[in-house]
Amino acid sequence: MTVTVEALDELVTALRTVLADDQILTSKTDRYNRARVPAPFPVHRWSERLPDLAVLPTSTEQVAGVVRIANELRVPVVPRDGGTGLTDGAVPLRGGIVVDVKRMNQVKELDLENRTVTVGTGISMLKLNEQLAKHDLFYPDDPASYPCSLVGGRIGTSGWSLIGSRYGHSRDLVLSFDHVLPTGEVMHVGDGIGHKISKSSSGYQLKHLFMGHQGTLGIATEATLKLFPKPEAELSPFWAFDNYDDAYRCVGALARAGVATFAGAVLFDEWKVAYLRRDDEAYIPQPNDVRALVCAVMYGYEDEVRPAGKRLFRIAKDHGARYLGDEISEGDWAARHDRYATPLHGRTKAGQVVPMSWHCEDAAVNYTNLPSVSRAWHEIVADLRRRTDVFDDWGMFTYTSGSTGVDYLTEIDVGIWEQQLDDRAWEMWVKAKRDIAAVALAHNGSISACHGSCREGEVDLVPQELGRGFDVMLDLKRTLDPNNIMNPGKYLLDRAYETGPHA
Amino acid sequence: MTQLDRPPGAPDPVSVPFTPGMRDNPDELAQFGDEIARDPEVKHDPTPTEEFTEEWRNASYNCFSSGHKFCREVCPVMQVTRNESWTPTAFHANVVAMDKGELSIEEVAGDYVNCTQCGACELRCPNTLFTGDFYRFRTRTVDVVKAVRAFAVESGIHQPAWKTWNARTDDKTHEPVLGEIPIKQENVRDWSAGLDIPIGGESVLFVDCEAAYYRTSVPRAVAQILQLAGYEFGLMGEQWCCGGPAAEMGYVDQAQRFARHNLDNWRSTGTKRILVLDPHDYISFTEDYPKYFGEEFDLEVVLVVELFAELIREGRLTPSVPVERAITYHDPCRLNKRKGVWKEPREILRSIPGLDFSDVDRVTQWSYCSGGGGGLPVEKPELTAAISASRLEKAAALEVDTLVSACPWSERPLSAAGEAVDIDVVDIHELLAASLGIEVGGTTNGSANGSAR
Ligand SMILES: Cc1cc2nc3c(=O)[nH]c(=O)nc-3n(C[C@H](O)[C@H](O)[C@H](O)COP(=O)(O)OP(=O)(O)OC[C@H]3O[C@@H](n4cnc5c(N)ncnc54)[C@H](O)[C@@H]3O)c2cc1C
Ligand code: SF4
């Protein structure tokens, strides 16, 4: 609790001037359930991260009103949307107000001619696409969290889409948005001021600044998104390999082929295959000589996807691939979201099944560095495992990030037996995360390609990754948020307010 | 081979990929000492909360540890409230917090009202979908909600309207519909006036309280269709509420007492088969009663919607009077989501001439609900109304004039919402009866009970 009882009363009284009673939630369960995202955390320390209250605004004006009050009263504000972020962005570190934007989930305008849709940022991509389907359109931001993450959180994290090699990622797909600054002023962010402009050259390019800041620079309330024709055909071949090296070379060749309908390629390494093998009945039944898997995905019209598929099949074959068949390919790609979500595979080294949470460290790494980053990351996790069964190695994915295959979203999935996560285990883990981030940097990568990097551990290395750029971040933060009310404690931005070299 | 060959220089088996638990793994794997992991502490003198969370800890933890909330957008309460405290995952997280001593049953009980027990979350949950119950870790949100509600009642924490409702039900042995309608044992068969149905026998038609007292056109339609097909059946000697609603609200003792009465009554009339028209009863008889009575419950439970589809298939019923309506079908949650019954109602509808049927597939309907279940309308009628309104909005988009349901409990809130968009809500059995040329009688709004409309 950062706010005293009297101050809380004053705050609630002030909030009642902009919100109705049922939009202000103060009960313990309301607060506990907004102090939680899927990323594991020692649950014995849950109470350290509670907000003082949560609000459920329904309009930009209400959000602005709440932020203005918070700024006046110097109360922290934490934007929260789906609450599926994996770096704890939506979890309060200093109490205060959680601004939960889920009630802002309306489709405000559908422009069929310019191919845009304007939505409240509390809408999910799944629900939006249900509505767009009637017009044969779709919004192709497709993270593995597609059924649960929401547009505002995609903006807050500048997320990464599984089919981004064809359609681009959140930052490319969000054209513009209304945004409440930390002072409560409202601005429009985007190329130009016309809401639906995809490229302008006037002024500084502020869109990038206001995406991926993890709620430290304000709250996006209404967004205009770019739409595409709903793909007529989807081809997603899965191929098996008897060794990692061939699979790795195959992925690179697929990505470099320059096929226009190519939406992405994924490489599952030996650890991932060993992990999937735990539940053959639920996943791909793999013969023992399968050591690595590759999936390529194409989206488009039937008559463009089919010949393109032939080309990719040829490339795969040349690299020693064995096609796993239509049924596995289609089923597995259809399950692409749920696949991330089953926590049942936590096992001790001896094989005992225990409930474990899924943690995923992600980085952006160039193609040429993937093998050595993978080796180093697995060794970091192996070292944890040697010491305790609290950690389990669930293997790695690498996904193409762009159409040319220059760099890859690289992630290692670690099972964490959160019920056993005491302070000692947590320390071990934080150190491991720092080491994992350091490996990415040592390979000229970025600490994060999609989730952000504001959690204990990796966040320590952000100044190192950004260099002089980190000081610019501090300058911007101080200017835009003079009282440090927006999601304080994240991204080491408190340094902006310390006396010393940065003050 | 599950253990990849250890390359020269690799220090130990942990440094190469392996699949834990496989028989051919090296013994070394099981022999690493552990710095942290310990067996959970066994409490010797557990508090009621500790006893409760001991039972549910791992089940709830499995959801907590995924925490992704794939379930969220299909949850009917969430759809209208957008309040994260009332999502399936919050119901599990609260149990974890109780286990950690962070929250108490007093603090959480009220939140658990906000669930219609429709089961959509379970269908959408990867923990349920993918693994069956291989590790006995399946996420069963409906059971968790029921268990917490029961624990609340056991701890003396009541929701005001539920408490009154259950007290009155206990008093009258039936759902206490208020107003003019006499809710008494003498009136439980009023709906069947003039149909000349015997008492008891091998097959007994069980009529849920809502249909028996309020929407009497439904059991009348069912009874007359059975008679037309020459299917022999009787009514119960002394029919009490099935106990399902009490069980859902946490009043476990009452639910079991009612169940015991009904079972004894069936025994006394030599009943071997129960015909059920209400999906909620179907859940009680196929899930709750077997749990209460085990082997002792050896009766056959027949869902009449399934029976009618079969009779039509066999040519024993032939709908022939055209019904000129533009309809869509509402999949009742307890049939579609909880029991996987979705084909037969459609079969029946397709057999009725004259209907212009705009179907919505059953998977899409996972996110539809009337809001009428799980005790929600008793404690939070405004939420039920909002959920029904959202259901009718979806029907209105199909430009139909009629929404057909197969669940009497959904029909009251759906009808109310239907008025706003000018859509009639009709029961599938009634519709079938009409096409069979039956003059049904009865009421759809609890007014003049038992007689013609
Ligand atoms: C199973 C699973 C799979 C995942 N797969 C992917 C994936 O493939 N790609 C990917 O990118 N991510 C993935 N994620 C991570 C997560 O879904 C994304 O980070 C997502 O963008 C978060 O969205 P959210 O709506 O849940 O946001 P939240 O978790 O609520 O918030 C995320 C951050 O954004 C801020 N924020 C929220 N709303 C706003 C707003 N309106 N304005 C400004 N800031 C805001 C928050 O303060 C927080 O810092 C996955 C997560 C899970 C659980
Ligand atoms: S109920 Fe299932 S889908 Fe929902 S959060 Fe829990 S595990 Fe995920």
Distance from CA of A299 to the nearest CA of B (A): 23
Question: Going by CA atoms, what residue is nearest to atom 6 of ligand 2?
Answer: B63
Residues of B in contact with A25 (CB under 8 A): 83, 85
Distance from CA of A388 to the nearest CA of B (A): 5
Tokens of B41: 């502490």
In chain B, whose CA is at the least distance from the CA of A147?
B70
List alpha helices for A257-349, DSSP H.
Answer: 270-276, 302-318, 326-334
CB–CB contacts below 8 A, A to B: 197
Please tell me the least confidently modeled range out of A85-94, A186-195, B65-74, B358-367. Answer: B65-74
If one compares A282 and B367, the residue with the highest pLDDT of the two is: B367
Distance from CA of A395 to the nearest CA of B (A): 8
Using a 6 Å cutoff on CB, does residue A213 contact ligand 1? no
Q: Which residues line ligand 2 (CB under 6 A)?
A: B 63, 66-71, 88-89, 92, 121, 124-125, 127, 139, 141
- List CB contacts of B352: < 8 A, sequence separation 6 or more: B319, B323, B431, B432, B435
DSSP designation for B345: H
Instruction: Return the pLDDT at B415.
Output: 96
Tokens of B40: 């959970």
Q: For residue B37, give the nearest of A105, A358, A389 by CB distance.
A: A389
Instruction: Return the pLDDT at B1.
Output: 40
Instruction: Return the pLDDT at A398.
Output: 96
Using a 6 Å cutoff on CB, does residue A82 contact ligand 1? yes
Instruction: Return the pLDDT at A280.
Output: 56
Mind listing the pLDDT tens digit for each residue in B399-423? 999 999 999 999 999 999 999 999 9
Phi-psi region of B421 (alpha: psi -120 to 50; beta: other; left: phi over 0): alpha
Angle (nearest 5°) at CA B148 between B145 and B150:
110
Question: Going by CA atoms, what residue is nearest to atom 3 of ligand 2?
Answer: B125
Q: pLDDT class for B4, splitting at 50, 70, 90? A: low
For residues A24-34, average pLDDT: 97
For residues A115-127, average pLDDT: 97
In chain B, whose CA is at the least distance from the CA of A24?
B83
| DSSP codes, B358-400 | ----TTGGGG---S-STTHHHH-HHHHHHHHHHHHHHHHTTT-
Q: To test ligand 1's pocket by mutation, which of A41, A81, A142 has the most ligand atoms within 8 angstroms of CB?
A: A81
For residues A28-42, average pLDDT: 94
Instruction: Return the pLDDT at B6.
Output: 73
- Read off the pTM: 0.95
Q: For residue B14, give the nearest of A56, A105, A382 by CB distance.
A: A382
Which residue in A226, A298, A270 sits closest to A394, CA to CA?
A270
Query: Are B329 and B400 a contacting pair, CB within 8 Å?
Result: no
In chain B, whose CA is at the least distance from the CA of A355?
B62
Which SS3 state, helix, strand or coil, does residue A124 take? Answer: strand
Distance CA A38, CA A58 (A): 25
Q: Which helix (H) or strand (E) holds A429?
A: helix A423-442
Distance CA A369, CA A408 (A): 10
Cα pseudo-dihedral A251, A253, A255, A256, rounded to 10: 160
Angstrom distances, CA of residue A463 to CA of A156, A245, B387: 20, 34, 49
pLDDT at A438 over 60: yes
Q: Look at B82 and A358 and tell me if their CB atoms are within 8 Å.
A: no
Q: CB distance from B131 to chain A under 8 Å?
A: yes
Instruction: Return the pLDDT at A342.
Output: 64
Q: pLDDT class for B126, splitting at 50, 70, 90? A: confident
Query: Are A278 and A344 a contacting pair, CB within 8 Å?
Result: no
Cα pseudo-dihedral B389, B393, B399, B405, rounded to 10: -50
> Which residues 338-377 in chain B show a CB within 8 A of chain A?
none
Beta bridge partners of A99: A55, A79
pLDDT at B214 over 70: yes
For residues A116-137, average pLDDT: 97
Angstrom distances, CA of residue A349 to CA of A387, A413, A476, B13: 11, 16, 48, 10
What is the whole-number distance in angstroms between the Cα of residue A485 and the centre of ligand 1? 20
Helices B48-66 and B141-154: crossing angle in degrees, nearest 10, is: 160
For residues A225-245, average pLDDT: 96
For residues A241-266, average pLDDT: 97
Beta bridge partners of A239: A294, A323
Which residue in A188, A185, A155 sits closest to A67, CA to CA?
A185
In chain B, whose CA is at the least distance from the CA of A23?
B83
Q: Look at B21 and A351 and tell me if their CB atoms are within 8 Å.
A: yes
Distance CA B29, CA A351 (A): 9
DSSP designation for A112: T
What is the whole-number distance in angstroms between the Cα of residue A253 and the centre of ligand 1? 31
Q: For residue A350, give the nearest of B20, B90, B111 by CB distance.
A: B20
Angle (nearest 5°) at CA A108 between A103 and A110:
140
Distance CA B213, CA B184 (A): 10
Q: Look at A33 and B90 and tell me if their CB atoms are within 8 Å.
A: yes
Q: Around A489, how many Cα atoms within 13 Å sit in the side-chain half-sphere?
A: 17
Q: What is the identity of the amino acid at A364?
A: A
Distance CA A335, CA A283 (A): 10
What is the whole-number distance in angstroms between the Cα of residue A156 and the centre of ligand 1? 7
List alpha helices for B270-380, DSSP H.
Answer: 279-283, 289-293, 304-313, 333-339, 343-351, 376-379
What is the whole-number distance in angstroms between the Cα of residue B256 and the centre of ligand 1? 45
Question: Going by CA atoms, what residue is nearest to atom 8 of ligand 2?
Answer: B69
Query: Are B143 and B62 a contacting pair, CB within 8 Å?
Result: no
Residues of A in contact with B96 (CB under 8 A): 43
pLDDT at A485 over 50: yes
Q: Find the ligand nearest to A264 CA.
A: 1
Atom of ligand 2 nearest to the CA of B128: 2
Instruction: Return the pLDDT at B453.
Output: 36
For residues B428-438, average pLDDT: 98
Pairing of strands B273-276, B300-303: parallel
Residues of B in contact with A358 (CB under 8 A): 65-66
Instruction: Return the pLDDT at A343.
Output: 56
Q: Look at A44 and B100 and tell me if their CB atoms are within 8 Å.
A: yes
What is the whole-number distance in angstroms between the Cα of residue A431 and the centre of ligand 2? 30
Q: pLDDT class for B443, splitting at 50, 70, 90? A: confident
DSSP designation for B211: I
Q: Look at B130 and A338 and tell me if their CB atoms are within 8 Å.
A: yes
In chain B, whose CA is at the least distance from the CA of A385?
B14
Query: Are A412 and A447 a contacting pair, CB within 8 Å?
Result: no
The mean pLDDT of chain A is: 94
High-pLDDT (> 70) share of chain B, %: 95
Distance CA B68, CA B139 (A): 13
Mind listing the pLDDT tens digit for each residue in A341-374? 665 678 899 888 888 899 999 999 999 999 999 9
Mind listing the pLDDT tens digit for each residue in B301-341? 999 999 999 999 999 999 999 999 999 999 999 999 999 99
Distance CA A181, CA A174 (A): 18
DSSP designation for A451: S
pLDDT at B2 over 60: no
Which residue in A72, A69, A39, A41 sits closest to A53, CA to CA?
A69
pLDDT at B449 over 80: no
Query: Are A298 and A257 a contacting pair, CB within 8 Å?
Result: no
Q: Look at B70 and A147 and tell me if their CB atoms are within 8 Å.
A: yes
DSSP designation for B288: I
Query: Are B375 and B384 a contacting pair, CB within 8 Å?
Result: no
Angstrom distances, CA of residue B144 to CA of A84, B119, B250, B334: 22, 12, 11, 17
Q: To test ligand 1's pocket by mutation, which of A63, A86, A91, A149 has the most ligand atoms within 8 angstroms of CB?
A: A149
High-pLDDT (> 90) share of chain B, %: 79
pLDDT at A290 over 50: yes
Which residue in A400, A225, A366 sits closest to A298, CA to CA?
A400
The residue ranges of DSSP E strands in B111-253, in sequence order, are: 203-206, 234-235
| DSSP codes, A44-104 | GGGGGG--SEEE---SHHHHHHHHHHHHHHT--EEEESSS--SS-TTS-SS--EEEE-TT-
ipTM comes to 0.94
Residues in chain A: 503
Distance CA A471, CA A478 (A): 11
pLDDT at B5 over 80: no
Residue A304: CB atoms within 10 A of its CB come to 16
Q: What are phi and psi of A447, to 5 degrees?
A: -60, -35
Distance CA A493, CA A495 (A): 5
Mind listing the pLDDT tens digit for each residue in B87-108? 999 999 999 999 999 999 999 9
Distance CA B329, CA B307 (A): 18
Q: pLDDT class for B452, splitting at 50, 70, 90? A: very low
Distance CA B216, CA B191 (A): 5
For residues B30-49, average pLDDT: 89
Q: Which helix (H) or strand (E) holds A233?
A: strand A233-235
